[in-house]
Amino acid sequence: MAKIRGDLKSNKKNLLKTILPLTLTALFAVVIIILITRKSVCIIINGNSKNVITYKSNVSQVLFSEGVKISPYDKVTPALDSKVTNHSTITVKHAVAVNLTLEGKETTKYSPEDNVKDFLTSQGIVVGSEDKVTPEKEAKLYNGIKIDVVRVEHKTLSSLDTVAYNTIRRPDSSLPNTYEQTVQEGQNGEKQTIFDTIYENGKEISKKIIDEHFTKKPVDKIVVVGTFPSMPVSRGGQQIDYKKVIQVKSTAYYAVHGVGSTYTSSGRMAVRNPDGYSTIAVDPSVIPYGTKVFVEGYGFAVAADTGTAIRGNWIDVFFDTSAEARRWAVKYVKVYIL
């Protein structure tokens, strides 16, 4: 029995000698593994940073272990499947909602970019030199921001328009005022006008003329118009010209000595000839003797008589009978000096 006990003690000592080194080796290995996998990592979220101790191997695991939720639109640097080492830095930029109006069409986009310019670039939106962007490209993005992109386009357009001819009336004092003759027919012309037209999102907002020229000049219509005065009535089918017209008071006298026996102060026989020239009395300082006239309502006449009461714009027309003279009485008429 004493021998058996001694053998057991000897075996325990041998077992301890064998197990202890193995255990220590395993513990040492675990410590080494822990030391190797333990990492200090800086996480920056929307500009706010914090340092964490992690044993995770890649970015995705680290963020998940820290409760950081990532959407498909967020920007994570480095990539989610990247390995993490001690003193690594992980940057997370959460996307914000952007209300984008592009060429008049509204959509909602989600972007983690810093400003309007980077947002447009990330969306593949090329902005022309004259396009309008509101707000300005350097403006910071924030949740709910409204961005409007207006396409501005210049187009050079032209139109061809008819230009009406002018009518030119050329006075000619050698021709009676009843004469009017076209000596050159008018022709319409054509004018081309070139516009700089500005469109915003396909809608015309302004148009400016940058050039205009005739492709066909109009030809003026020329009409010769007589200006020499003519009587308001004709004689023998021919219009009678006159020098001037005056307004007069007109009275009447008759052949008190009988037709064919009454003479004027100028020595001429007083006559009434509706188809020719009758005799009238005048103020010779206004209408000289021998002047042929046309008396409105009376007819053609010649100034051949006068009287003590006939002064200024006053005439006395002759009739064969007293009844005709009384019917005429007193009138205010126009006298055309021929």
Is 197 strand, coil or helix?
strand
pTM for this structure?
Answer: 0.49
Contact criterion met (CB below 8 Å) for 122 and 131: no
Task: For residues 56 and 60, give the distance between their C-alpha atoms in angstroms, rounded to a whole number.
Answer: 9
Return the structure tokens found at 106: 């509204």
**CATH number for region 39-93:** 3.10.20.30
Return the structure tokens found at 334: 């126009």
**What string of DSSP letters covers 209-246?**
EEEEEEEE--B-EEEEEEEE-EEEEEETTEEEE-SEEE
**What string of DSSP letters covers 111-164?**
E--SBHHHHHHHTT----TT-EEES-TTPBP-TTEEEEEE-EEEEEEEEEEEEP
**CATH number for region 238-337:** 2.40.40.10
Grade residue 175 by pLDDT with cuts at 50, 70 and 90.
confident
The whole-number pLDDT of residue 23 equals 65
The answer to which of 10-24, 127-141, 172-186, 201-215 has the lowest mean pLDDT is 10-24
The whole-number pLDDT of residue 184 equals 95
- List beta partners, residue 181: 224
The answer to which of 240-244, 277-281, 292-296, 303-307 has the lowest mean pLDDT is 240-244
Domain ranges across the chain: 39-93, 96-150, 154-226, 238-337
Grade residue 90 by pLDDT with cuts at 50, 70 and 90.
very high
Residue 189 has pLDDT above 70, yes or no: yes
CATH superfamily label, 154-226 = Resuscitation-promoting factor rpfb. (2.20.230.10)
> Which element (helix H / strand E) includes 145?
strand 145-150
Grade residue 13 by pLDDT with cuts at 50, 70 and 90.
low
Same fold, 96-150 and 154-226: no
The whole-number pLDDT of residue 76 equals 95
| Residue 140: DSSP 8-state | B
Grade residue 16 by pLDDT with cuts at 50, 70 and 90.
low
Instruction: Tell me whether residue 194 is exposed, middle or buried, using C-beta atoms within 10 angstroms of its C-beta: 0 to 12, 13 to 18, 19 or more.
Output: middle
Return the structure tokens found at 247: 């307004």
Give how far Cα 315 sits from Cα of 11, 123, 188, Å. 178, 102, 55
Q: Give the total residue count for the chain.
A: 338
Contact criterion met (CB below 8 Å) for 44 and 51: no
The whole-number pLDDT of residue 275 equals 81
The whole-number pLDDT of residue 268 equals 82
The whole-number pLDDT of residue 18 equals 64
Strand 292-295, strand 238-241: pairing? unpaired
Q: In what order do the strands lie in the sheet with 203-216?
A: 152-163, 189-200, 203-216
> Which element (helix H / strand E) includes 323?
helix 322-328
Topology of the domain covering 96-150: Ubiquitin-like (UB roll) (3.10.20)
pLDDT tens digits, 109-151 = 999 999 999 999 999 999 999 999 999 999 999 999 999 999 9
Number of helices (H), then strands (E), in the chain? 4, 22
